[in-house]
Structure 1
Amino acid sequence: MIDIRLMLVDDHNIVRQGFKSILEDKGFDVIAEAADGKEAIDVARKVLPDVIIMDVGMPRMRGIESSRRIKKEFPSVKIIMLTIHTNETYIYESLDAGADGYLVKDTATEDLVEAIMTVVSGKVYISRNFPPDILENYSKLKKAGKKADQFSRLTNREKEILQYIAEGNTSQAIAKELFISKKTVENHRANIMNKLGIHDTASLVMYAVKIGLVDSN
């Protein structure tokens, strides 16, 4: 017996029983089941499994929302989304919800076992159906989203001045262009850096390029 306690969540009993049989044959301990996302939360609270294998699309509450709530309450519980969906958007949404793995339902038994062992070891597992750089792409999207959120904190005037700075203009040149004092420009520059957590002009320019405010050329 493998000392990993599993919970299965799927709205189709035949699917749960099929996976239960496969996993128990492999030596895993399937300690609980649930038929929808809402029930999954209640059952998880009672049995606190090591790993939850969760369907994405279910009645009453989707697996992704259920995963988000379970992860918030029990961060140590590992969750593998098991689904028919091969759209990368579902992977990103699952990872945002805190899922540790994403597996397509027609996967081989060996892949299911590998997914469980991978997430238990603290790593993320993504089905072989997807490109190997999927996690790297997700990371880039998250970073871009964070940068966009920071940018939205700037006032319209600060955004305007950031663009001028990124284009290589001096404070004096910007002041002349906008009919304001050099000191005002420098105050705006300081506010921009403070809001973005950036401390030098070179990094400010790099930031503007990364979010597409100015061209890298």
Structure 2
Amino acid sequence: MLIIDDHALVSTTLEIALRSRGVVAHRCDPGTAEAVEQAVDGVDPGIALVDVDLGEAPDGTTLSGVDLVPLLVDRGWQVLILTGGARELQIAAAVTAGAVGWLHKLTPFEDLLTAVLSAVAGEPVLPEMERLRLVRLYYGEQTRQQARRAGLDQLTARERQVLEGLAAGKRAATIAEESVVSLATVRAQIRAILAKLGVSSQLEAVALLREIEQL
């Protein structure tokens, strides 16, 4: 078993407990793609227990265990996601990428260990109906994101500037003054923005922009 978790206490405790049960377990830290590839190189595939939140790489970039799922699955590993507070969409993305299930860090340790050992024994971790629900959730969100991006792509360069001004907390009057146009013009542009994005308020438009920028 390969344990990929940036929390040393959790990963070390799991490693010791699993080894006491006869499971060959090793830790991998940091959870970068390069470190994982090195850890599995030449190793017979087994179970990989992967934390969703892996902290930061040495270069400061955020590391996500979800990004490691395809890499491990392609090499024949079964992946169990470990999370302390991941959003359901992150779990759905991991399952869609091939993870066989997920476990919460707040699960009593003995129960968590039992679940891991069940996976090692080849027993199902995630009911099929739940797996299908998460896959549908993931693809549904992907469809919604594509529609949102399409709405943003419809904005003219000027409308995008107005939206970014609103996102920066500026009022329509301020945007009009800075752009040397009338307030009526800016208000007309805001109405066009709302229509293209399919939202009913400036707050929703700004929230949509921020959500897309974070993806």
> TM-score scaled to structure 1, two decimals?
0.52
- Runs of 4+ deviating beyond 4 Å: 142-146
Deviation at 1:12, TM superposition (A): 2.3
Provide, for residues 78-123 of structure 1, a one-character-per-residue CA deviation record: whole Å limited to 9, x for no partner.
Answer: 1111110253212101112221121111213234322442465263
Tell me the residue number matched to 1:67: 69
Q: Which residue of 2 aligns with 1:55?
A: 51
| Distance change (3 Å), C-alpha of 1:81 and 1:144 | closer
Equivalent in the alignment of 2:100: 100
5, 16, 21: which one pairs with 1:10? Answer: 5
| Bigger CA radius of gyration | 1
Distance 1:116 1:79, change over 3 A: farther
**20, 23, 30: which one aligns with 1:25:** 20
Which amino acid is the alignment partner of residue 91 of structure 2?
Answer: I
Other-structure match for 2:40: 44
Q: How many residues align?
A: 136
What amino acid is the match of 1:93? A
Structure 2 distance, partners of 1:106, 1:16, is 14
SS at the partner of 1:53? strand
How far apart, CA to CA, are the structure 1 residues paired with 2:116 and 2:18? 12
Distance (whole Å) between structure 2 residues aligned to residue 101 and residue 135 of structure 1: 8
2:111 maps to 110
Shift in Å, 1:7: 1.1
Which residue in the other structure is 1:125 paired with?
126
The whole-number CA distance in structure 2 between the counterparts of 1:138 and 1:97 is 11
Q: 1:119 to 1:134 in 2, by over 3 A?
A: farther
**Maintained 8 Å contact 1:52/1:79:** yes
Cα 1:12–1:141 shift into 2, 3 Å:
closer
Percent of matched pairs sharing the same residue: 20
In structure 2, what is the Cα distance between the partners aligned to 1:86 and 1:107?
Answer: 14
CA distance in 1, matches of 2:141, 2:11: 37
- Report the Cα offset of residue 25 of structure 1: 2.6
Structure 1 residues 56 and 45, CA gap change in structure 2 (3 angstroms): same
CA 45–125 in structure 1, closer or farther in 2 if over 3 Å, else same: farther
In the alignment, the residues of structure 1 paired with residue 70 and residue 40 of structure 2 have an alpha-carbon distance, to the nearest angstrom, of 13
Please list every run of 5 or more consecutive structure 2 residues that lacks an aligned counterpart in the other structure: 58-62, 148-215
Q: Counterparts of 1:127-206 in structure 2 under 5 Å? A: 134-141=130-137
Q: Which amino acid aligns with 1:96?
A: T
1-structure distance, mates of 2:139, 2:10: 37
**Do the aligned residues in 2 keep the contact of 1:41 with 1:66 (CA within 8 Å)?**
no
Match of 1:184 in 2: none
Letter in 2 for 1:121: G
Deviates more, 1:137-146 or 1:42-51: 137-146
RMSD (CA atoms): 3.1
